[in-house]
Each structure stands twice: as C-alpha cells, then as structure tokens.
Amino acid sequence: MTEPPSTALPVSVASAGCAHLTLTAANEPPPLRADAARNRKRLLEVAAELAAERGAANVTMDAVAVAAGVGKGTVFRRFGDRTGLMLSLLDHIEQQLQAAFLTGPPPLGPDAPPLERLRAFGPAVIRHEHAHRDLYMAARREESRRFNPSFQLRLTHLTLLLRQAGAPGDLELTGYTLQAYLDTALAQYLLTVRGMPVERLDAGWCDLVDRLGTPR
C-alpha cells in the first residue's frame, strides 16, 4: 500500500457522513448485537484514523488495540486477522460514500435532479478515493476485488440516473464508461504523476456526463 496523502483535496460536494448503510451478503453471519456493533464501529474508526496518519500498510492489530484502549484479543475476535481488518475497513469507508449518494443530501443524494446527481457523483468519488487512496489502490491490485459488489452498486446507480435523465444508447455500457473515468489508478496517476488539479478532473467528468447523459 502507498503512503497516506499529504494534502487533502477540497471537497465541493455533499459530505459522506450521513446515514449508515449496511450491505449484507447472503453468506455473512447474523448482525452483531448493538454493543458489539458499536465496538466494531469504534475499532474501524480507530483503524481509519491510524491509516490516515501512518498509511494503511503500517496499521497493525496491536496498534489498533492500543489506540482503542482494548486488548489485542478483542481486535482478533472482531476481524480474525489483519487482512480481515483491512477488508472490513475498506467496506466501512465505502459504506460512507454509498450512504452519501443513496440517501444523502443534494446534489449527490436523491432530492436532486438525475443529471445534477450524475455531475456530483464523479467529484465525490474522486475526493473520497483520494482521501483513502492506499486502501483503494491495494484493493484494486487484487483482480477478484476490481468488480466487487461496491463496483456493481456504483454501476447500477449510474445506470439508473442515466435512465432517469433520459440518456440515449446502451445505458449499461455508458455506465461502464463513466466508471472507467473514475478508475482509482487512473485518477491517482492524473493527480499525482501528471499533476493535474482536481478541478480539471471535475470539469472533465461533467463534460463527459453532459455528452453521454443528455437526451438527444
């Protein structure tokens, strides 16, 4: 995993800190008791803070236990091992973004017109993934996680907004095209290697949305 970002990108879209959204797969264990769920959320928040300070590669089970003021065994019981902790942390962070575009305030959330939501979606994803880029970059290096349920949820969301906006053509393929623009590795290359300002990526996204999502 890479080092944590040294500077944060400016946020010009709705905050991702609204309702908590849980996506439960069919083979996952039953929901935790309320106190256990609160403890798990607290451990993930501590892990996220450590990842922001040190980089995810330097987050250990011991460090999380010490920062949270619990025994190391508690962390192992909740997540199994460090890989389980990192996957849970990525899921926790992704749920914050999902909550923002599924149930959050406009322009990202459902109370805004579909084209306006489409235009807000790209900048929100770029900023969110940049803020947690070492976690997302590490996950994208695993081929099995590139087209995971989070990717499919984003695709479904984009396709639905395109349909609501009256966009022409094959909307599923258009959704994949928009997803490709937001590829984590591409965005980080443009921002860090090419040195493009995030506002240029925002403008490019809006131009693409307007070209692909506006009824002919």
Q: List, as one string, the DSSP characters of 11-34.
A: P-S--S-SS------TTSPPPPPH
95 shares a domain with 75: no
Does residue 71 lie in a domain region? Answer: yes
159 shares a domain with 70: no
- In this structure, are residues 68 and 43 in contact, taking their beta carbons and an 8 Å threshold? yes
187 shares a domain with 132: yes
185 shares a domain with 100: yes
Domain with 169 in it: what CATH number? 1.10.357
119 shares a domain with 164: yes
- What is the number of structural domains in the chain? 2
What integer best gives the mean pLDDT of the chain? 83
190 shares a domain with 99: yes
More confident site: 61 or 23: 61
- In this structure, are residues 133 and 2 in contact, taking their beta carbons and an 8 Å threshold? yes
123 shares a domain with 198: yes
Over 80: is that where the pLDDT of 18 sits?
no
The string of pLDDT tens digits covering residues 123-141 is 999 999 998 888 888 777 6
Domain that holds residue 133: 90-213
Q: Classify residue 8 by burial, with Cβ atoms within 10 Å: 0-12, 13-18, 19+.
A: exposed
| pLDDT band at residue 11 under the 50/70/90 scheme | very low
Distance CA 127, CA 115 (A): 20
Residues 6 or more apart whose CB falls under 8 angstroms from that of 27 comprise: none
* Matching residue, tokens 């099995």: 144
168 shares a domain with 148: yes
43 shares a domain with 121: no
Does residue 13 lie in a domain region? Answer: no
Does residue 1 lie in a domain region? Answer: no
Does residue 7 lie in a domain region? Answer: no
Query: What's 179's DSSP letter?
Result: H
Q: Classify residue 159 by burial, with Cβ atoms within 10 Å: 0-12, 13-18, 19+.
A: buried
- In this structure, are residues 1 and 56 in contact, taking their beta carbons and an 8 Å threshold? yes
The string of pLDDT tens digits covering residues 133-163 is 888 887 776 655 667 888 999 999 999 999 9
Does residue 97 lie in a domain region? Answer: yes
CB atoms within 10 A of CB 87: 16
The two tokens of residue 112 are 């805004």
